[in-house]
């Protein structure tokens, strides 16, 4: 008997938030294979203890499994497929639900003994040089989720005036905002591989991030994390070491486009590509850079949140 486990979607963050379910399957002691849904999820398997192997989804066929084998596809559940997360219909059916509630419901229905209340950090390498550094994670495949570059630059100045060091994490060639911050002279740490990024956010004193995979990685590593969200906080995970700052409601033109494009009924990703799921690239904010909803989250508020989390972390140490 073997288990074949596919995360809730194809992003790196989707793998991270699914880890408690995967850990519960691994705890059975049965051979467990992780189905990677896109290259975005490649590179972390060596840090997940107990895996029997990884398989690219485009090379995987459930029809070829043995009679006692089990395919766990977290997308194949009504909590994922019947409604668009965050929509009014979803909120009416599941008021207050966030990603951990969705995954808990799926695991409960499928008898997976997952514990989403207690995070188990992935193994990481200790890098002492980042122990007093606040890591900025400004990049996202979805421009609408990004915070304006001028806000990051102001935030860096405010923190430096308090004697705090910062480092920008991300790949400038893949993110306009990361590139702009590097050009502005902010300290940038190169993280060509996911494990490099994992090591940085695990060692950082705190992380400030937009709603993206590295934010979820920092949360799982129990690093104090301030997450900057659009109005839809479906992917916020409310642990003691996290805080969310939330932008105002997007204009109706943006929300209409947003909900038109969501492929929530997609069960599999059959193309092994960074663009196997292009939802976040199909639309942009209708407002100017200065007027868009994310610009309304002010750097001063971010400073208050990150200082509060760091002080709480120090008291708990």
For the chain, list residues with pLDDT below 50: none
What letter does residue 166 receive in the DSSP assignment? E
For the chain, the distance separating the N- and C-terminal CA atoms, rounded to the nearest angstrom, is 43
Question: DSSP per residue over 226-281, as a string?
Answer: EEEE-S--TT----TTEEEEEPPPPPHHHHHHHHHH--TT-----S-STTSS-GGG
Using alpha carbons only, give the angle 175, 179, 183 rounded to the nearest 5 degrees.
Answer: 175
pLDDT of residue 209: 98
pLDDT of residue 26: 98
Q: Which domains, from first to last, does the chain contain?
A: 2-109 (3.40.50), 128-250+285-316 (3.40.50.2000)
pLDDT of residue 257: 79
Residues in the chain, total: 317
User: What SS3 class is residue 171?
Assistant: coil
pLDDT of residue 291: 82
Phi then psi for residue 215, to 5 deg, are -65, -45
pLDDT of residue 281: 62
pLDDT of residue 140: 87
Q: Which two tokens stand for residue 186?
A: 């902010």
pLDDT of residue 102: 97
The residue assigned the tokens 């702009």 is 180
pLDDT of residue 263: 76
Q: Report the helix count and the strand count for the chain, using DSSP H and E.
A: 11, 10
User: What SS3 class is residue 144?
Assistant: helix
**Cα distances (Å, whole numbers) of residue 35 to 10, 41, 46:** 10, 9, 14
Please state the pTM of the whole predicted model.
0.95
The residue assigned the tokens 């990685």 is 217
């Amino acid at each position: 008997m073997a288990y074949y486990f596919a995360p809730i979607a194809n992003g790196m963050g989707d793998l991270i938030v699914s880890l408690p379910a995967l850990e519960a399957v691994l705890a059975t002691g049965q051979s467990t294979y992780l189905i990677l849904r896109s290259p975005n999820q490649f590179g972390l398997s060596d840090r997940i203890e107990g895996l029997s192997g990884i398989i690219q989804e485009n090379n995987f066929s459930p029809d070829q499994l043995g009679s006692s084998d089990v395919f766990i596809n977290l997308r194949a559940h009504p909590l994922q497929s019947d409604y668009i997360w965050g929509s009014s219909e979803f909120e009416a059916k599941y008021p207050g639900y966030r990603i951990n509630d969705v995954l808990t419901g799926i695991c409960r229905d499928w008898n997976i003994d997952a514990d989403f209340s207690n995070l188990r950090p992935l193994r990481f390498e200790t890098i002492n040089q980042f122990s007093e550094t606040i890591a900025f994670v400004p990049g996202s495949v979805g421009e609408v989720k990004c915070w304006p570059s001028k806000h990051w630059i102001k935030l860096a100045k405010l923190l430096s005036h308090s004697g705090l060091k910062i480092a920008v994490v991300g790949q400038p060639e893949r993110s306009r905002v990361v590139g702009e911050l590097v050009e502005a002279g902010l300290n940038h740490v190169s993280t060509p591989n996911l494990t490099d990024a994992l090591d940085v956010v695990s060692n950082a004193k705190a992380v400030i991030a937009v709603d993206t995979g590295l934010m979820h990685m920092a949360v799982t590593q129990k690093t104090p994390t301030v997450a900057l969200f659009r109005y839809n906080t479906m992917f916020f995970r409310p642990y003691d070491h996290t805080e969310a700052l939330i932008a105002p409601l997007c204009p109706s033109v943006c929300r209409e486009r947003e909900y038109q494009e969501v492929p929530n009924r997609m069960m599999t990703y059959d193309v092994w590509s960074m663009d196997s799921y292009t939802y976040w690239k199909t639309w942009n904010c209708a407002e100017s850079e200065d007027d868009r909803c994310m610009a309304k989250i002010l750097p001063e508020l971010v400073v208050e949140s990150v200082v509060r989390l760091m002080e709480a972390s120090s008291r708990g140490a």
